[in-house]
Amino acid sequence: MLELIHDFIFDSARRTPGASALAYGARRLDYAALALEVEEAGGALLAAGVQPGERVAVYLEKRIENVAAMFGAAAIGAVFVPVNPLLKAEQVAYILADCNVRVLLTSPERLAPLADAITACPDLRTVFVTGDKLPEQRPAGPALALWDAARQAPAEGVLAARRAIDADMAAILYTSGSTGKPKGVVLSHRNMVAGARSVAGYLENTPQDRILAVLPLSFDYGLSQLTTAFLTGATAVLINHLFPKDILKAVLEERITGLAAVPPLWIQLAALDWPRDCSLRYLTNSGGAMPVPAVAALRAALPGAQLFLMYGLTEAFRSTYLPPAELDRRPDSMGRAIPNAQVMVVRPDGTPCAPGEPGELVHRGALVSLGYWNDPAKTAERFRPAPGQDPALPLTEMAVWSGDTVRMDEEGFLYFIGRSDDMIKVSGYRISPSEVEEAAHASGLVREAAAFGVPHPTLGQAIVLLAVARDAEATPALLLKECQRRLPAYMVPAHIALRSEAFPRNPNGKFDRNLLRQSYSSLFESTTP
């Protein structure tokens, strides 16, 4: 019985040690070699003094070391924290401090801009760097060591050293929060194992599959490509792409059978010249609704591949999927609940909505995470008792109240309507307006700033930033430059406008974002997909 997330790798190594497991560039690992890499990573972390439940952060692009460190941390009972490689130093430092990271694995190039910021991370004891030479500029505080050298520590007995159970923490994945600071979603081994089994089940993954890992591993949807591959003994192929054509090339060269992406990337991929005998068996979409024209274009470009439209949220991993056989009948549907999950549509009082009646999507089951790290208030807001429970139950089952408004038809298929909060979703990333506004204020160029999302034909939404200039020297170009310096690329506004008068406010004194948004709702209508 596979109960822990790293069991996937070691079980496949026992069953088929010579089977292909992980590929990155010219490096190829079978399951026996991958299991050894994970054991060595666990041994290095044990030697560094990592205790059960302590956090190990990985701030790297996708590569072998990244995968080994995450699963190695899990193998010794620690908690891995994958950090999006697009984040800037201040955002990375916030995550490291927020979840009291003990060990950080990164590269010399990524460490350099972090050196000053991580002085505000008092719990960080050790920084491991990749490569064969320690950087000359060293951060004050934590010890600095080479990762390859540390992996020479004795690895025998790593799996027996710290045996976890499936209720224990396995990972913390950070996602944007409504207050502007990222929220750490705490996942147990049970959450991740149940999610992998459910998804691999309806995708019918087998050891013959070769899955291309395109998305960031800090994104639950990206991490899922590894867990489903390792569960079924399939091959995961890592890629850090620059252009959509890089993905096409990798699919052809690696004979990829499974590919996951978000709507903006799918729109770009559908426009490429795919061969008729392409090896792709299935395609999956999540991170936003796929426009119906994009669905048609993708199916025309890759007629031999089944397309699965899915919906998920980090707090519960995956909630729904639309079977490919239903695409012609309901191409705008987000599907029905995945196996081993219940998805309900409820009114504010928790009573079930009638068919066609809009309500909040609530998810219950084994995939419901353990809440937000270090944030009991936000946890209580989003994780609440599941609707319709028997009042005689001695303990209350918690569910995720998504904040998303959906409707359900007579046959149980769901349709997305919108979000009840101000979060912006760009290319699959959930972005807090406050994060963008904070960057604008930090520039010193503005008195007031308001960010919001508007419809965009390829991105899902685009960020518009409105600001009241502090003086005549402020210009949209200067503010854009400051945003680019302080924010990862996906958070940089697509449109910036300055104004001289104060923003309109609602009766509570807050910016009236809806009123501001109205003037810009059609800003990108003429953009060509």
Mind listing the pLDDT tens digit for each residue in 433-461?
878 888 888 888 988 888 989 988 888 89
Across 45-50, average pLDDT? 93
CA 247 to chain centre: 19
347-380 exposure pattern, b = at least 16 Cβ within 10 A, e = fewer: eeebeebeeeeebbbbbbbbbbbbbbbebeebbe
**Least confident segment among 117-121, 125-129, 421-425:** 421-425
Q: Which CATH number among 3.30.1330.30, 3.20.20.70, 3.30.420.40, 3.40.50.980 corresponds to the domain 7-204?
A: 3.40.50.980
| Position 527 confidence tier, pLDDT thresholds 50, 70, 90 | low
Q: Where in the chain is the domain with CATH 2.30.38.10?
A: 292-419
Please tell me the predicted confidence (pLDDT) of residue 156: 67
Mind listing the pLDDT tens digit for each residue in 173-190?
998 754 567 899 999 999
> The whole model's pTM is what?
0.85
The Cα 68–Cα 74 span in angstroms is 10
- Give me the residue label for tokens 């505080």: 141
DSSP 354: P
Secondary structure class of 76 (helix, strand, coil):
coil
DSSP assignments along 433-465, one per residue = HHHHHHHHHHTT-EEEEEEEEEEETTTEEEEEE
The Cα 112–Cα 321 span in angstroms is 42
| Position 506 confidence tier, pLDDT thresholds 50, 70, 90 | low
Across 379-394, average pLDDT? 91
State how far the alpha carbon of 251 is from the alpha carbons of 8, 64, 246, 280, 305, in Å. 24, 19, 9, 8, 13
Mind listing the pLDDT tens digit for each residue in 332-386?
899 999 999 999 999 999 999 999 999 999 999 999 999 999 999 999 999 999 9
224 touches 196 (CB < 8 A): yes
Across 130-135, average pLDDT? 89
Query: What amino acid is encoded at 110 in this protein?
Result: R
462 DSSP β-pair partners? 454
E-state strands within 15-141: 20-24, 27-30, 55-59, 79-82, 101-106, 126-129
25 burial type by CB count under 10 A (0-12 exposed, 13-18 middle, 19+ buried): exposed
Across 427-432, average pLDDT? 81
Q: Where in the chain is the domain with CATH 3.40.50.980?
A: 7-204
Residue range 424-518 in CATH 3.30.300.30: yes
Q: What is the CATH number of domain 292-419?
A: 2.30.38.10
Q: Where in the chain is the domain with CATH 3.30.300.30?
A: 424-518
